[in-house]
Chains A and B, each alone.
Chain A
C-alpha cells in the first residue's frame, strides 16, 4: 500500500528556515517523480516543486531561489528545505507522488500534509 507521511511543519518567524520531510512506503521515491503542493488556509492548491527520477529539480516562481527539494534514496524520503520564509508561505504542505502518467506532473498519491505557519 502506498503511503506518504509528512512532518517538520511548525511556527517560524519571517526570514526563518524550515525543512519538511516526507517518508514514503509501498514504492521507491528514487524511481518516481515526487512533488510538493501547498494549500494556504481556506484557499486552493499551488504546486511548489518537483524532483524527477533522474534528479532534475524544478520550482514554482513563487519559491525559486528560496526552497530546495531533495531526496534520500536509502531512507525513501523526500525533503523540502525552505529559507527566507514569508507570511505568504503559510500553508499546509502536501507531499505527492507524480502519476499515473510517467513524466507528467499530476498527482496520484498524497500525504496528509504538514502545516507551516510564518508569523512573528
Chain B
C-alpha cells in the first residue's frame, strides 16, 4: 500500500494570504495525484488531478505541482470559502488518501 503523508495537520492562514500544503508518497506515484477539498457536512470536491490540472470549475487561485513523491497544493490568495480540509490521493496503485490538512482562519 502506498502511504500518503500530508503536512502540516493544521494550517492557520488569514484571508488574502497564500497557503501551501504538502503531500508526500511513500513510493513514487508519477503524476497520478489528486487533491480534494472537504467542508463540514459536505462530500469531498475534486480540485486537482494529474498533480497540476484543475478540475472543471475550480478557480485559478488553486494550483498543484510536483511529481514522484513530493507534491504541493497552493492557494494563491485565500478566500473565506477556502477554509476547509484538504486531502491528497494517489491513483498510481489502488487509491490511498492522506490524512488531511485543515486550513483554518488565523
Contact = CB atoms under 8 A, between A and B. Distances in A.
The answer to whether A binds B is yes
Interface string B9-38: 000000000000000000000001010100
Contacts of B1: 61
Given A45-B89, A110-B43, A58 B94 contact: yes
B43 A113 contact: yes
Contacts of A94: 43-44
B46 interface: yes
B20 to A, nearest CB: 20
If over half of B's interface residues share one DSSP class (helix, strand or loop), that class is named, otherwise mixed; here it is loop
B96 A47 contact: yes
Contacts of B32: 104
> Which range holds the interface residue count of chain B?
20 to 34
Given A44-B87, A100-B49, A101-B50, A107 B97 contact: no
Interface string B73-103: 0000000000000010101001111111000
If over half of A's interface residues share one DSSP class (helix, strand or loop), that class is named, otherwise mixed; here it is loop
Contacts of A107: 34, 36, 44, 46
A45 B97 contact: yes
A45 B46 CA distance: 13
Interface string A24-61: 00000000000100000000111100000000001011
Interface of A: 35, 44-47, 58, 60-61, 94, 100-101, 104-108, 110-113
Q: 6 closest pairs, A vs B, by CB? A: A110-B43, A47-B95, A45-B97, A106-B34, A105-B95, A106-B91
